[in-house]
Structure 1
């Protein structure tokens, strides 16, 4: 009886090591088609003259093999109705959001989603100055923070110089 307990323990340990949940995927293997990327990217001119529009280009890419959708709330695909960008100067001081703040019903209705076919992209421009009062010359950075609502991942931030 004393010999059965260690043997039983070893057998359970061995079988649990074979479970699908404990296997580590091969990171060198090619990604399956379903795991190709669906993401967004921001672009902005490096230098913007004082008094000019601060045009941010926001593009969503669907590099998967299937139709994808995202909620347009908290993205530039609807008018500025919420704070979904962090705008900071070179000292890390945040430029306060001064746009409208929409109250939303949850979950978002079907018409608040945009669909994107495989291999397609969708772009929109937004003037950041309409909700973020940038008044001083200097370097600024913009980070997208609306991913929890929209479902979009933006891996990069943008930096620009505002001035004369």
Structure 2
């Protein structure tokens, strides 16, 4: 009786190893290897002006071939997704005010950004537009990883 259950369990395990879903997932995530080679840097190029906290987000390709990353969960698709961690001096996290989105995978080609060899792409966004920030000093970091494939970059501090 026990042998019979072991044979059934082995059959289930072997069948799940050949699942088409697993193959589709691998095929749809090939870009992650490329994105992991890209370098992320972001800074507050100017002090805040009024209620704005501008951030310059740069993705650099140090390799000799074009690489791509998924724009989702990056400032290249602003106001959608919580991809920054912003904490005050006491370690309290600023409240995210933007939209969250569900995505269909694998992503369409139009959702990718290609960074030419030895070049970079840049975008600017306003942190105050998507996070509730009160006067004080904050440490800002990019979470990285996730669906975009970009790795976490540097961190910086900003005072309001």
What range describes the TM-score normalised by the shorter chain of this pair? 0.7 to 0.9
Structure 1 segment 13-162 matched on structure 2, within 5 A: 38-45=38-45, 47-48=47-48, 51-135=50-134, 137-162=135-160
State the secondary structure of the residue aligned to 2:95: coil
CA distance in 1, matches of 2:147, 2:114: 15
Shift of 1:155: 2.9
Shift of 1:89: 0.6
Structure with greater proportional helix content: 2
**Normalising to structure 2: TM-score of the pair?**
0.72
RMSD of equivalent CA atoms: 1.8
Shift of 1:145: 1.2
Shift of 1:152: 1.1
The runs of at least 4 consecutive aligned structure 1 residues that moved more than 6 Å come to: none
CA distance in 1, matches of 2:138, 2:46: 10
CA distance in 2, matches of 1:46, 1:130: 16
Gaps of 5+ in 1: 1-36
Distance 1:81 1:113, change over 3 A: same
Distance 1:45 1:79, change over 3 A: closer
Distance 1:97 1:85, change over 3 A: same
Answer whether contact 1:77 1:124 (CA < 8 A) is retained.
yes
For 1:77-107, what per-residue CA distance to the aligned partner results, in whole angstroms no more than 9, with x for missing partners?
Answer: 0121111111111111001111111111112
Gaps of 5+ in 2: 1-36
**Normalising to structure 1: TM-score of the pair?**
0.71
State the secondary structure of the residue aligned to 1:88: strand
Which one has the largest radius of gyration?
1
Question: What residue number does 1:6 align with?
Answer: none
